[in-house]
Structure 1
Amino acid sequence: MAELHIVGTLIGASQFPASELCCEDWKLLEGFESAQTQVDIPAEDSNITLWDHPIDVHYSTNSIEGWPKMQFQVYHQDSFGRNELYGYGVCYVPTIPGTHEIDCVTWRPVGSFTDQLWSFFLNATPQLKNLDIIHNPTDRYQLTTESMGKIHLEITVICRNFQNYGVCLSTKQ
């Protein structure tokens, strides 16, 4: 079997409208791993939320079909401990072995005028009922969304025995 190892760190997030962020239910879409980070309350002069959450996953496969993606949901926690959706994001795990710094851009649905009023007065932002839309671009283009911040990752991709299945993964230059 060919093997894929993904080791690294979910570093944090930046460029969101407020701090006090956590990343809930991030997961590798083709695997079974999921987790939640702690809520970081950065110093007032800091422009990045730090999570430093470890990533360590191992797969075995005999093809590159269904290459893993990482899916994220970022939430802002208010002073009452309520979590407000701040964004969804998805990115592919690089197919090139080596260490990679990844910035995953995030977005959230805007919703109708009524949804926007709820969001403004009650911090009840619209959320997706079906999370498959996050990583399916055909369905996502039908949504009205707004850009949010970025999630920062540093991961090392280690590939083993892919050449035995006719797959040549080039090395990072």
Structure 2
Amino acid sequence: MSGLLQATPIFMNIKLWERMAEVHIIGELVGANGFPSGSLSCKWGLTLGSAWKVLEGLQEGQTQVDHPQDGSFAKWSHPINIHLACKGLQGWPKLHFQVLHEDFFGRQELYGYGFCHVPTVPGIHNLECVTWKPIGTFKEQFIGFFLGGNPELKDETSIYTTQDRQNLRTEAMGNVSLRLGIILRNFDKFGVEVS
């Protein structure tokens, strides 16, 4: 009897979110190019507004390190499969990235930050997300040249928000390639046209 009572609130919660608009993101982090050297991996995450809820799937992850033979394109083919429900459009999902380089000794250093909005139109989308890294002061650059490492953000929300980003000195880096399939459901019930 107690098992039935525990299952009831979960069942009611699922039913509530079933009546909401839904977004299903199915795709992959294909890889990266345009970085100074190979041996790259990528940490990624999904940022949502307060009106959004993850129904299924992981909201963050990390790829393997790829050591491309020609050094030009790091291939990850890392899957992304996230099912979301929303009560409103504010806080539309964004994917954010940290591209890391692994050196000869296995140390990882930051090569770039980037983010992109999840497309609002259903279908298959090939995206190129540009990345950047903070360059720091002359002293930090000098130390980084001889000892390795790059300046990193204290607060990672600066990757995908404009708060405090205008004060950063940055350098353009390479691109992260994504292939995303977007499925939208029940948006028409709430008066939102998608095409």
The TM-score normalised by the length of structure 2 is 0.84
Q: Quick check: 1:20 aligned with 2:39?
A: yes
1:66-105 CA-to-partner distances (Å, cap 9, x unmatched) read 1000000000000100001000001000001100000000
CA deviations over 1:30-83 (Å, ceiling 9, x no partner)? 15611010000001x252000000000000112211100000000000010000
Give the gaps of 5 or more residues in structure 1.
none
How do 1:112-151 residues align onto structure 2 when only pairs under 5 Å count?
112-151=137-176
- CA distance in structure 1 between the aligned counterparts of 2:154 and 2:128, rounded to whole angstroms: 26
Asked if 1 retains the 8 angstrom alpha-carbon contact of 2:38 and 2:71, the reply is no
Shift of 1:112: 0.5
Normalized against structure 1, the TM-score is what? 0.94
Q: Where do residues 71-150 of structure 1 align in structure 2 (5 Å cutoff)?
A: 71-150=96-175
Give, as a single letter, the amino acid of the residue that structure 2 aligns with 1:144. R
- Equivalent residues of 1:75, 1:83 under 8 A apart: yes
Q: Which has the higher contact order (CA 8 A, sep 6+)?
A: 1
Look up the SS of the partner of 1:147 in the other structure.
strand
What's the CA shift string for 1:102-147, capped at 9, x where partnerless?
0000000000011101210111210000111111124212210000
Q: After the TM superposition, which of the residue ranges 28-37 and 102-111 deviates more from structure 2?
A: 28-37
Pick the aligned partner of 2:63 from 37, 44, 49.
Answer: 37
The residue type paired with residue 90 of structure 2 is E
Report SS of the residue matched to 2:145.
helix
Identity of aligned residues (%): 49
CA distance in 2, matches of 1:46, 1:107: 19
Q: Hey, which of these two has a bigger chunk of helix by percent? A: 2
Q: Which amino acid aligns with 1:105?
A: V
Structure 1 moving runs of 4+ over 3 Å: none
Please give the alpha-carbon distance, in whole angstroms, between the structure 2 residues aligned to 1:122 and 1:165. Answer: 56
Tell me the C-alpha RMSD between the 2 structures.
1.1
Which structure has the larger Rg over C-alpha atoms?
Answer: 2
